Structure 1
């Protein structure tokens, strides 16, 4: 049984997609062992609690230095004993020591077709604003391994989503989540849990 630790910063819609996929058998041989957030009071924590999944908050505000926060985050992750770490809207740069400790065991979902609209500064609505400003007709989402760069690790899965003429950043974000993110993340976890990756 693959122990999955999901790391979140906000509402936890991708977390919910993972929990639902475990419940309905779309993800097999895996369990969500813990949820870690860098923000207190986010709805993702409630989602975890409702599902009986232990949830931990490690916020940078509680530490005097970035190094102290990074160390606390890594210790919290280690205590959860993950086989796989899933960054599901986790908006904190992962410490190098954590990438080293869990090489090829951390995956991220990014709301574009990498290499488009990715890297430093591209997160949340900013990705969709950039896609619309550029006038692309197709966008999507990418699941990739996490390495030392920002959105530079090997790509595992991608799914395209059509851009509609009347899209706003918010409507596009919602469609990308529904049609791509919530599909790809469970697919990737299931593939890893069952040895297909």
Structure 2
């Protein structure tokens, strides 16, 4: 697999998977990271890690159709055949989704389908879990489709919601399982014939 990453901020999944590739734990090659945020720490990290990088956003391409085309061109020119959303805070356009159908993965900080959908990201998800009274939370890796957080689930990791949990304590417990969950899901995706 040739991995392309899309990140808006720190890109923790991109960092974890790149380290796994270079450490021999994942049979894949990281090739490119694209961010919609020109000040993203992930862009600086990716440059230093030797990946191709690009900043593509509404600032560089005000027309969504042009942005979709530019993103697809950048990813395919870099040779990416599998996309990993690493905290990417934008919806993908139809060209990218069609070209990479069945090969785009995202991680969500809850047990989908609970606490997913439009507007449910980051701390909002953990707040919703705590407000709901759920006794467990976790993380879900899923295939990305046109609907927000609606694609097929590839893997989940569960963590308990403990009495007295705060947003920060629950978030830390969920984040602790995300890297290896994403690694397992991407490794399994690479074994799917014709995927």
Q: TM-score, normalised by structure 2?
A: 0.92
CA distance in 2, matches of 1:127, 1:13: 18
CA offsets, 1:39-74, max 9 Å, x none? 112111122122211221112122232222222222
Aligned twin of 1:15? 14
Counterpart for residue 179 of structure 2: 182
Are residue 173 (structure 1) and residue 176 (structure 2) matched?
no
In the aligned structure 2, how far is the partner of 1:123 from the partner of 1:153? 16
**Are residues 1:100 and 2:98 paired?**
yes
2:30 to 18, 32, 36: 32
Aligned to 2:136: 138
Distance 2:25 2:96 in 1: 28
Query: Who is 1:84 aligned against?
Result: 82
What is the CA deviation profile of residues 150-175 of structure 1, one whole-angstrom value per residue up to 9, with x for unaligned ones?
A: 11111110110112223222332222
Shift of 1:127: 0.7
Q: What's the counterpart of residue 59 of structure 2?
A: 61
Give the match for residue 153 of structure 1: 151
SS at match of 2:50: coil
**Structure 1: stretches of 5+ with no match in the other structure:** none
TM-score normalised over the length of structure 1: 0.91
SS in 2 for 1:91: coil
CA-based RMSD of the aligned residues comes to 1.6
Would you say how many aligned residue pairs link Structure 1 and Structure 2? Answer: 194
Give the whole-Å Cα distance in 2 for the aligned partners of 1:52 and 1:157. 29
The higher relative CO (CA closer than 8 Å, separation ≥ 6) is in: 1
User: Unmatched 5+ residue regions in structure 2?
Assistant: none
| Structure 1 Cα separation of the partners of residues 131 and 98 of structure 2 | 36
